[in-house]
Structure 1
Amino acid sequence: MRQFTAVVNPTAGSATGAAALIAVARLLREAGADLETVHSRSLPHAGDLARDAGRRGRIVLAVGGDGITGAVGGALSGTDAVLGLVPAGRGNDFARALHLPTEPEALARVLLEAEPQPVDTIELRSAVHDRTVVLGSVYAGVDSLANRHANQARLLRGSAAYYAGGLRAVTTWRPARFRVTVDGAEHMHRGYTVVAANSGYYGSGRIIAPRARLDDGLLEVVMIRHAPRRLFFTLMNELKTGAHVDRPEVEVLRGSQVRIEAERPVPYGADGEVDADLPVTATVLPGALRTLY
C-alpha cells in the first residue's frame, strides 16, 4: 500500500489546505495507506521537506495552491519521487491542467490507484534566480503585476482577486518593448505581456494557452501586443475560453527554450510566486516530474 507525506501550505490559506486534506486523509487511511503530515515554514522549506520525503520513497502530496505545488514539484523535478496534489489554493491552475477531480472520494481514488505519469517542468535562470524549477508558466508584463496585486488582496479570493488585480495593473501599464528569443530566433514585441506556458491555465482558471500540453516538451509562447485598453479588457474576458489566441493582437510561438528581455525593468512571475525583474530564460525539462493524475 502507498505511503504519503502531505506538505501543507505555510501561508494564511493553510487552514483551507488542512480542511481539504482531512477529508482525503480519512479516505486514504481507510484504504490502508500510510499518511504523515508536515507543515512547512516557507516555500523553500516545503521543497526541503518534499525532497526528504521523496528520498524515503514516499509519495509527496502538495496541499494548497499553485505556489506550494510549484515549490514541491520543482523540488522533486529530476528525481524518481512522485508528486500528488490536494488542491486547496486560490488558483489551483496546475491541478486544473491535470484535470484532477475536486471531490474527496474521486481525488483519493486517483492518489491510491493512478500510475505516475511523466510531465514537463520549467527551469528558470536569471540574475536573481540562478536556477529555479517551476511547473505551470512564466509570465512577464502586466499579468505579473496583476498577480502581485492579487496576492496582496485581503478581501477577495479566486478569480475575483485575479480580475481585480488585472484591472488595477492595466490602468497603470505602459506598453513595454520585449525581445523574445525562442530556440535562438529573436522576436521583437511591444505590448502588454509575454507568457511561456507549460500549462494552459493561469490566473485562477484563465486559459492563456489553450494548445499547451504538459508532456510535449514545448512551451507555448503567448504575446499580447499593444492595443486600446478597451480591447485589452475584451481580451481578458476571452481568456475564459482561450478565444483570444485567434485575435491579430495575439501571437503564439512554440519552443523548448525562451528568453524574455525588456527595454525597462519589467517584472516576471511563475506559478504565482516567483517575483523578480527580467531578463529570464525558461527551458523545458521534458518528462522530469512523475505525477499522479
Structure 2
Amino acid sequence: MSKLNILFIINPISGGKDKLKIPALIDANLDRSRFNANFAFTEYVGHASEIAEEAAGKNFDIIVAVGGDGTINEIAGRVMQQHKILGVLPFGSGNGLARFLKIPMNTVKAIKVINNCKVSVIDTATFNEKCFFNMAGMGFDAHISSVFAGNKGRGLSGYVKLGLREVLSYKPQNYRIAIDGREYLRKAFVISVANSSQYGNNAHIAPTASVTDGLLDVCIVKEFPMYKLPVLAYEMLRSKTDHSKLVEIIKGKNIHISRVKEDAIHIDGEPYFMGTEIAVSVNPLSLNIITPDYEV
C-alpha cells in the first residue's frame, strides 16, 4: 500500500509555546509505515494559508495545522477548497475546535490520532464570506481579540488579565438579528455564532452545538451587571449556558446581523474589522478532518 503524503504546518508563536522540537517529536511518534512526513514553519500572519495553497500542487493527502484555532482557520479553508484532509495538533491559547472534537491536548496522543487516520466530515460556515470553523462573533469577545492581537504576552493568563481589565469599560451594543427569516432586536454584550460548543479552554457558550447538524448556534449574551460575571463564567465552564438567564441561544442556517457602527469582529479568535451588515451561513459537511475514533 502506498504511503500518504502529510504536511505539518507549524505556527511557532501560537499559544506562546516553543515548537522547535515538534518535528523531532512527530518523527519519533508518527507511523512511518503509513506516512511520508514534511514540515513547514510559518513566518507571518497569512503564511499558513499560503503554504497550504502551495501544497495543493505537491501531492499532499493530509495537511496538519500545528497551532490554535487561528492557524486551523488559515489552513482549513485551503484544505476544504482542495478536497484534502485536515489534521490538528493543538498548540493554541484555547484550542476550541480541537477540544470539541476531543483531539488530545497531549501532543504524542494527538499524533497517535493522526496515525489512526479516522476521517470525519464536519460543517463549516462563512462570516461575510470569510470561512470559520469553530466560532465567530462580535461584541466584547471581538473587542478583546482585537486588543489581544497587539499583546506580546499571548497565552491564557494574558488573555484573562486583559479581559478583566477591559470588561468594566465595555458597553453593550444594539443589534438587529435575522435568523432564517425571523427578526430579533437585542442589546447584547456579545453575539457569538457557534459551530462547535466552545471558545476554548472548555468555556462552552453553546453546549448543544454540533458540527454535523447543518445548523449554527447564535449565542446572545445579554446586558448584565458586572457582579453576575462570575455566574456567566461558571455556567460556561459547566456547559450550562443553554439554561442561563444571561444567554439566549437560537439555532439557524442563514443569519444576518445589523449593528449601529463598524467595529471589530473575530473569526476563530482572530480579529478583523467589518462594517454594519454581517451575513452568516452554514456549509453542511464540507470539511474532511481527522478525529479520534468516535462519532462526531
**TM-score of the two chains, using structure 1 as the length reference:** 0.89
Aligned with 1:124 (options 110, 124, 127): 127
Given that 1:14 and 1:64 are in contact with CA atoms closer than 8 Å, whether structure 2 keeps it comes out as: no
Is 2:260 the counterpart of 1:263? yes
Paired with 1:14 and 1:65, the residues of 2 have a C-alpha distance of: 10
Which of 271, 281, 284 does residue 283 from structure 1 map onto? Answer: 281
Paired amino acid for 2:264: P
Give the gaps of 5 or more residues in structure 1.
126-130
Match of 1:28 among 11, 27, 30: 30
Write out per-residue CA displacement over residues 92-131 of structure 1, whole angstroms, 9 at most, x where no aligned residue.
1111111002334432221122332111111121xxxxx3
Q: Is the 8 A contact 1:148 1:165 kept in 2?
A: no
Question: Which residue identity lines up with residue 28 of structure 1 in the other structure?
Answer: L
SS in 2 for 1:261: strand
Normalising by structure 2, we get a TM-score of 0.88
Report the CA distance between 1:208 and its aligned residue: 1.0
Aligned with residue 161 of structure 1, among 158, 161, 175? 158
Q: Find the aligned partners of 2:24 and 2:211 in 1 and give their Cα distance.
A: 29
Q: What is the aligned partner in structure 1 of residue 182 from structure 2?
A: 185
Q: Give the one of 69, 89, 96 matched to 1:66.
A: 69
What is the correspondence of 1:139-218 to structure 2 with a 5 Å cutoff? 139-155=137-153, 157-158=155-156, 160-218=157-215
Q: Is the 8 A contact 2:264 2:271 kept in 1?
A: no
Q: Note the 1:207-246 alignment, pairs <5 A.
A: 207-246=204-243
Matched-pair contact (CA < 8 Å) for 2:232–2:246: no
**Cα deviations by residue, 1:157-189 (Å, 9 ceiling, x for unpaired):** 22x233223222321111210111111221111
Please state if 1:6 is matched with 2:4. no
State the SS of the aligned residue for 2:19: helix
The verdict on how the C-alpha distance between 1:111 and 1:283 changes in structure 2, with shifts beyond 3 A counting, is same
Cα shift at 1:260: 1.9
- Displacement of 1:75 after TM fit? 1.9
- Of stretches 15-24 and 70-79 in structure 1, the one that deviates more from structure 2 is 15-24
Relative to structure 1, is the Cα distance of residues 190 and 14 closer, same or farther in structure 2, using a 3 angstrom cutoff? closer
What code does the residue aligned with 1:50 have? A
CA RMSD between the two structures? 2.2
Report 1:97-116 matches (<5 A): 97-116=100-119
Moved more, 222-231 or 22-31: 22-31
Q: Which residue of 2 aligns with 1:50?
A: 52
- Give the Cα separation in 2 of the matches to 1:207 and 1:98: 13
The DSSP-based 3-state class of the residue aligned with 2:237 is coil
- What whole-Å deviation, never above 9, does each CA across 1:185-220 have from its counterpart, x for those lacking one? 211110201111001111533111111111111101
Report the CA distance between 1:244 and its aligned residue.
2.9
Q: Which of 33, 36, 39 in structure 2 is aligned with 1:37?
A: 39
Secondary structure, aligned partner of 2:177: strand
Structure 2 unaligned spans of 5+: 292-296
Could you say what secondary structure the match of 2:231 adopts? helix
Q: Of 18, 21, 43, which aligns to 1:19?
A: 21
Check whether the contact 1:150–1:162 (CA below 8 A) recurs between aligned residues. yes
Q: 8 Å contact 2:206–2:241 — kept in the other structure? A: no
Give the direction of change, closer, same or farther, for the CA distance of 1:155–1:43 in structure 2 (3 Å limit).
closer
Query: SS of the counterpart of 2:168?
Result: helix
The whole-number CA distance in structure 2 between the counterparts of 1:201 and 1:13 is 17
Q: Is the 8 A contact 1:8 1:18 kept in 2?
A: no
Percent of paired sites with the same residue = 24
Distance 1:14 1:38, change over 3 A: farther
Give the aligned residue type for 2:52: A
- The structural deviation recorded for 1:254 is 0.4
- Larger mean CA deviation between 222-231 and 260-269 belongs to 260-269
* 3-state SS of paired residue (2:50): helix
CA distance in 1 between counterparts of 2:246 and 2:122 reads: 31
Matches of 2:19 and 2:286, distance apart in 1: 26
Deviation for aligned residue 1:265: 3.4
Answer yes or no: is the 8 Å Cα contact 1:179–1:261 preserved in 2.
Answer: yes
Give the Å deviation of 1:63.
0.8
Shift of 1:248: 2.2
